[in-house]
């Protein structure tokens, strides 16, 4: 007894490979030396009032005033861990790179 095999033609509708992320951005190069990277102490954290995937945090990064930061960490770090007093996080400040 022979088994019947069905061949599917996978060549129909062949798609072109999608461009790499840097090509999709119009060949824009990211210069990481222009980013200001710091360690900050989270003073408070709460859910963003109008975005389900964002937290709003008050962060002390050693400047005169605290920074208000919106971060997309909701799916990665629970709120109770964000609110631990004195917890530290890596902060990337890109405001100074916007010329």
Burial 47-84 (b: 16+ CB within 10 A, else e): eeeeeeebbebbbebeeeebbebebebbeeeeeeebee
Task: Tell me the average pLDDT of the chain.
Answer: 75
Q: Does residue 82 register a pLDDT over 70?
A: yes
Encode pLDDT of 34-57 as tens digits: 778 888 888 888 999 999 899 999
Name the pLDDT band for 97 (thresholds 50, 70, 90).
very low
pLDDT, position 14: 58
Task: Tell me the β-bridge partners of 45.
Answer: 57
């Amino acid at each position: 007894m022979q088994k019947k095999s069905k061949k599917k033609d996978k060549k129909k509708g062949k798609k072109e490979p999608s461009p790499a992320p840097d090509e999709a951005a119009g060949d824009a190069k990211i210069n990481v030396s222009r980013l200001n990277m710091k360690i900050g102490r989270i003073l408070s954290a709460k859910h963003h009032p109008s975005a389900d995937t964002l937290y709003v945090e008050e962060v002390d990064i050693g400047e005169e005033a605290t920074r208000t930061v919106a971060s997309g960490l909701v799916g990665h770090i629970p709120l109770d861990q964000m609110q631990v007093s004195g917890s530290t996080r890596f902060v990337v400040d890109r405001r100074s790179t916007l010329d």
